[in-house]
Every structure is written in structure tokens, then in C-alpha cells.
């Protein structure tokens, strides 16, 4: 046996490096939560950071601990309460540790044999999700590596189901005869999925109303226009919630519309689907159980490290149709027997053991942790909004429905273009200093600052400081 292989695989090495790493991470978490780390994002220019890591790669010997220190020092600190940037989960200790076990076992998931426990856990977690959505016993789901892949998988099933010929075997005959209707505010992965599936401009954007919800009159109008022209709507996609403003579409009304039209309803609930766990907020997705498919990311509001997306189907058989229409016919009678060969229902062949972290989280904390986390972050958005409303030189874009808030500085003496450039400048200046990480969004042509309150420890003090910092950066960028 070659010595380098023996060395690299040594359990003693694992034990030694592992214990050091655990302490390093625990210290890091403490420093984040206590705000001892000064920046939420240690901004560096991409080329500068690339040069730094290239030097490290080619340079002197370095210990694992030092490489990890460099990595922690030069990464966005999600665990820092002043991280209020994108919709990425702040994972809990048990979730972080569970991912190490998944990495250790490295169970492929295409057939039961390669991932026995992971397969069982995946069924338990996806069944739980279906029940929480309100689906009946004929439902079922799978996990995919991310929401984009999840949306693609669901829309693939919709494409198959709607066509009056076997698309899987015969191919797309005239791409943009197949139409997906989706709000202009929807995540870009929907449009991208349509284009991957060969529909081109067949993904039609429905204008949103003044609150950034899909306009139902427009939905109706465009549906009629499209179908009168001989085209086929294979799916309507609702957002729960939208990415840029955190707005929930009127799912119940859209669901009734789809039922009348016998059209597949897919809900991209990647970010906001977690409200199914909250009595207080589940009205936001009223009617979700009428959808044919729903995507919910565990790595957004469900505290899980990425990637882990639940794709739920009202009718479990539909999920088999995604990938093998013909084979699905053959298997029809035995579908119930096939739950454990997950590769038949996913784009992925080797698929990571994603279920362990979800199972552990549910087993140890039940739904309580997830529910209380979501409720507390949604409530924080309301608190922040109330604070902003009290500041005369700030404005809110729209009443927040989730933990996403869009707002901006508006000193009152500027035109639209000046306001856009003011807020863009402030955001850039904040980023480069790095004490807060917030982002920006364009809403019907107007640039707004945008926060997503993901960190469980972001509080009113942080909000106050953010408001002050924005004013300070405003002065900095003034001519």
C-alpha cells in the first residue's frame, strides 16, 4: 500500500484534524453571534481574491487549519446577525454536523441499494412535507439538488402530462406551442426551465399588480389569447413568495382558475413555502394543496445547508411521468413498489444523501424550531418596516409579506434617476465596507435596497445601526 494513500485516509488524521476543526468552527460561530467579527461580508475584488488564492495554491506548505482560517476569513458570514442579504439558510449545528456524515457515507441515491437509510429518510421527510402542504395519500415527493432543478423536474412532468402525444419519445414538435404562464416577478429559473425544455418564448410573463402579485385579469386575458391562438398552456406557475419583493401570489384564486381550465398548477414556494408550518402565516399560501406540484427549498427558510429541495406532487404517479413515460406505463401497476428507487424520478443519477439533515432536524426539534424561526423572522420584517416608516427620509416599496423588505433612502429632493443612483451608490459603499451585507433590487424600474432577514439573531439594534449606516454612507458618497 502506497504511503500517501495510507496517510490521506488515516482515521487518526481524521480524529486530529476533526477535533481542531470543531473548535475552530465553534469559535467562529461565537465570534459571529457576538458580532466580534467586524464585517458581515469581507469584500474583496474578484480578481484580487483570485490572485490571493492562486498564490496560496502554488505557495508554501499550509496546514488544513490555516486553509480553513483563510476560507472563513474571506467568506460571507451568514451566521453574522448583520448578514441580511440573500435567501440562504443559516444552518444549525446539527445540520452542519449531519452534512459531514452525509459526506462520510457518500451514499449515491439512484437505487435503494446504494442509499438504504437515506432512501427511507427521504420518503419520511417528503411524505411529511406532502402532509404539511395538505396533500392526500396519493401524493409523494422527492428531493433535488436545488430549486432550479426542482422547478425543472415539476415542469417536465407538466409538459408530459399536457401534451397529446408522447413528448418524451417523440420530442418537442413546435416549442412555443407549449406555454407556461408565470408572473413577471417569478424567479428566473422558471423561464430558464422553459427554455431548457425547448419552449423558447413559450414562457409568457404575466404582468403583476401594484403589490407585485400576479394580475389575475391579465392571467385570464393571456390564457384566452394563447389558447384561442391554438397553443396549449402546460402550466401556470405561482410564486410563494417572489424573490425580489417577497410577495405571495393569490394561490387560492389561481388554483381555482387552473381547476376550471384543467391546467397544471405549479407553485414555486422555494423561499416562502415554510409558512405551511405556521398557523399564523399559512393563510399566505391558502389553497396550496390544490396545486399539482410544489417546490420548497430546505436551504432557504428551513435552516438546512444547501442543497436540499422538496418537490411535492399532488399525485405521486406524475413524478414518474417526468422521466420515462413509456416505462411509467410498464411500471404502472407496481408504482407503489417502486418508491425506493428514487433515480426513476430525478434528473440526478448519483444524488447526495440530503435527507439525513432533514430527518435529524425534525427528529430532534420537531416542527417547533422551524415554525418559531419563520414566525420570528417574518415578525422582524414588520418591526423593521415600522422603524423605517418612522424615518422621514426613508420609504418602503410595499408592505412586506415575508422576511424580505425593500426600502430606500429618499431625502425628498431627487428625481427617479437620482434616487436610483443614490441608493445603488449607498449599497455599493456598504458592501465595500462590509459591516452589513444587504442587496438591492429593481422594482418596476426603481432601485430599492433589499434585506432578507435570515439570521435568527438579527434584532432591532442591528436595524437601528443599519439605518444610521445608510445615512452615514449617503454622506460619504455625496459630492
Least spacing, CB of residue 204 vs a copy of itself, in Å: 12
Indicate which single residue of 216, 347, 387, 414 sits in contact with a copy of itself (rule: CB under 8 A).
347
Is position 331 an interface residue for a copy of itself (rule: CB under 8 A)? no
Indicate which single residue of 223, 248, 298, 323 sits in contact with a copy of itself (rule: CB under 8 A).
323
Indicate which single residue of 39, 70, 218, 387 sits in contact with a copy of itself (rule: CB under 8 A).
70
CA dist list (Å): 403 to 179, 248, 448 = 32, 12, 16
Sole residue written with cell 415542469: 155
Q: Nine-digit cell at 35?
A: 458580532
- Using CB under 8 A as the binding rule, the residues of this chain from 72 to 91 that contact a copy of itself are 72, 74-76, 78-79, 85-86, 88-91
CA dist list (Å): 168 to 52, 334, 336, 366 = 48, 21, 22, 40
Is position 99 an interface residue for a copy of itself (rule: CB under 8 A)? yes
Three-state SS at 457: coil
Is position 13 an interface residue for a copy of itself (rule: CB under 8 A)? yes
Indicate which single residue of 457, 471, 472, 474 sits in contact with a copy of itself (rule: CB under 8 A).
457
Looking at the DSSP bridge assignments, the partners of residue 123 are none
Least spacing, CB of residue 16 vs a copy of itself, in Å: 9
Write each residue from 150 to 169 as x if it is in contact with a copy of itself (CB under 8 A), else as -, in one continuous string.
Answer: --x---x---------xxxx
Contacts 24+ apart (CB under 8 A), 410-414: 411/474
Comparing CB distances to a copy of itself, the nearer of 88 and 335 is 88
Taking the C-alpha atoms of residue 217 and residue 219, their distance in angstroms, rounded to an integer, is 5
- Using CB under 8 A as the binding rule, the residues of this chain from 368 to 427 that contact a copy of itself are 368-369, 372-373, 376
**Interface with a copy of itself: number of residues (CB under 8 A):** 149
Is position 279 an interface residue for a copy of itself (rule: CB under 8 A)? no
Least spacing, CB of residue 180 vs a copy of itself, in Å: 11
Q: Which H, E and C letters describe 357-412, residue by residue?
A: HHHHHHHHHCCHHHHHHHHHHHHHHHHHHHHHHHCCCEEECCCCCCCEEEEEECCC
Looking at the DSSP bridge assignments, the partners of residue 206 are 183
Indicate which single residue of 274, 287, 305, 400 sits in contact with a copy of itself (rule: CB under 8 A).
305
Indicate which single residue of 138, 170, 417, 460 sits in contact with a copy of itself (rule: CB under 8 A).
170
Comparing CB distances to a copy of itself, the nearer of 41 and 255 is 41
- Using CB under 8 A as the binding rule, the residues of this chain from 239 to 268 that contact a copy of itself are none
> Contact, 308 vs 143, CB < 8 A?
yes
Is position 17 an interface residue for a copy of itself (rule: CB under 8 A)? yes
Indicate which single residue of 195, 261, 282, 435 sits in contact with a copy of itself (rule: CB under 8 A).
195
Contacts 24+ apart (CB under 8 A), 2-9: none
Indicate which single residue of 258, 288, 356, 381 sits in contact with a copy of itself (rule: CB under 8 A).
356
Indicate which single residue of 172, 387, 388, 414 sits in contact with a copy of itself (rule: CB under 8 A).
172
Least spacing, CB of residue 470 vs a copy of itself, in Å: 18
Least spacing, CB of residue 124 vs a copy of itself, in Å: 6
Comparing CB distances to a copy of itself, the nearer of 132 and 351 is 351
Three-state SS at 287: coil
Taking the C-alpha atoms of residue 203 and residue 235, their distance in angstroms, rounded to an integer, is 10
Taking the C-alpha atoms of residue 275 and residue 170, their distance in angstroms, rounded to an integer, is 40
Is position 229 an interface residue for a copy of itself (rule: CB under 8 A)? no
CA angle 249-253-258, nearest 5°? 105
Largest CA distance in the chain: 75
User: By CB under 8 A, which span of 68-76, 207-215, 219-227, 445-453 interacts with a copy of itself?
Assistant: 68-76
User: By CB under 8 A, which span of 40-48, 207-215, 405-413, 467-475 interacts with a copy of itself?
Assistant: 40-48
Taking the C-alpha atoms of residue 382 and residue 380, their distance in angstroms, rounded to an integer, is 5
> Contact, 456 vs 376, CB < 8 A?
yes
Taking the C-alpha atoms of residue 270 and residue 9, their distance in angstroms, rounded to an integer, is 38
Amino acid at each position: 500500500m502506497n504511503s500517501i494513500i495510507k496517510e490521506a485516509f488515516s482515521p487518526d488524521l481524521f480524529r486530529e484534524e476533526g477535533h481542531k476543526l470543531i473548535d475552530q468552527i465553534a469559535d467562529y460561530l461565537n465570534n459571529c453571534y457576538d458580532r466580534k467579527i467586524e464585517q458581515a461580508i469581507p469584500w474583496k475584488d474578484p480578481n484580487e481574491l483570485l490572485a490571493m488564492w492562486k498564490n496560496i495554491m502554488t505557495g508554501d506548505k499550509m496546514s488544513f487549519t490555516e486553509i480553513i482560517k483563510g476560507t472563513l476569513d474571506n467568506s460571507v458570514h451568514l451566521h453574522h446577525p448583520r448578514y441580511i442579504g440573500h435567501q440562504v439558510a443559516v444552518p444549525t449545528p446539527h445540520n452542519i454536523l449531519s452534512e459531514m456524515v452525509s459526506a462520510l457515507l457518500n451514499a449515491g441515491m439512484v437505487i435503494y441499494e446504494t442509499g438504504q437509510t437515506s432512501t427511507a429518510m427521504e420518503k419520511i421527510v417528503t411524505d411529511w412535507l406532502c402532509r404539511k402542504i395538505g396533500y392526500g395519500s396519493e401524493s409523494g415527493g422527492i428531493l433535488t439538488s436545488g430549486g432550479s432543478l426542482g422547478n425543472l423536474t415539476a415542469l417536465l412532468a407538466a409538459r408530459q402530462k399536457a401534451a397529446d402525444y408522447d413528448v418524451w419519445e417523440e420530442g418537442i414538435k413546435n416549442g412555443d406551442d407549449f406555454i407556461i404562464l408565470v408572473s413577471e416577478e417569478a424567479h428566473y429559473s422558471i423561464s430558464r426551465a422553459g427554455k431548457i425544455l425547448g419552449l423558447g418564448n413559450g414562457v409568457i410573463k404575466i404582468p403583476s399588480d401594484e403589490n407585485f402579485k400576479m394580475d389575475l385579469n391579465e392571467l385570464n386575458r393571456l390564457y384566452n389569447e394563447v389558447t384561442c391562438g391554438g397553443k396549449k398552456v402546460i402550466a401556470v406557475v405561482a410564486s410563494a413568495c417572489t424573490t425580489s419583493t417577497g410577495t405571495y401570489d393569490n394561490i387560492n384564486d389561481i388554483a381555482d382558475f387552473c381547476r376550471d381550465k384543467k391546467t397544471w398548477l405549479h407553485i414555486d414556494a422555494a423561499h416562502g413555502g415554510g409558512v405551511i408550518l405556521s398557523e399564523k402565516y399559512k393563510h399566505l399560501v391558502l389553497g396550496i394543496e390544490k396545486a399539482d406540484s410544489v417546490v420548497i427549498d430546505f436551504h432557504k427558510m428551513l435552516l438546512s445547508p444547501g442543497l436540499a429541495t422538496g418537490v411535492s406532487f399532488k399525485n405521486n404517479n406524475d413524478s414518474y411521468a417526468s422521466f420515462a413515460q413509456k416505462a411509467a406505463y410498464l411500471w404502472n401497476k407496481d408504482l407503489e413498489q417502486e418508491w425506493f428507487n428514487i433515480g426513476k424520478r430525478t434528473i440526478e443519477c448519483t444524488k447526495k444523501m440530503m435527507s439525513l439533515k432533514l430527518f435529524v432536524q425534525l427528529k430532534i426539534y420537531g416542527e417547533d424550531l422551524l415554525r418559531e424561526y419563520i414566525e420570528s423572522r417574518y415578525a422582524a420584517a414588520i418591526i423593521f418596516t415600522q422603524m423605517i416608516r418612522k424615518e422621514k427620509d426613508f420609504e418602503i416599496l410595499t408592505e412586506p409579506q415575508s422576511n424580505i423588505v425593500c426600502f430606500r433612502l429618499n431625502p425628498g429632493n431627487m428625481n427617479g434617476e437620482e434616487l436610483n443612483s443614490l441608493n445603488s451608490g449607498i449599497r455599493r459603499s456598504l458592501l465595500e465596507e462590509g459591516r452589513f451585507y444587504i442587496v438591492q433590487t429593481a422594482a418596476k424600474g426603481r432601485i430599492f435596497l433589499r434585506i432578507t432577514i435570515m439570521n435568527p439573531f438579527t434584532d432591532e439594534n442591528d436595524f437601528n445601526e443599519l439605518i444610521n449606516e445608510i445615512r452615514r454612507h449617503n454622506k460619504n458618497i455625496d459630492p
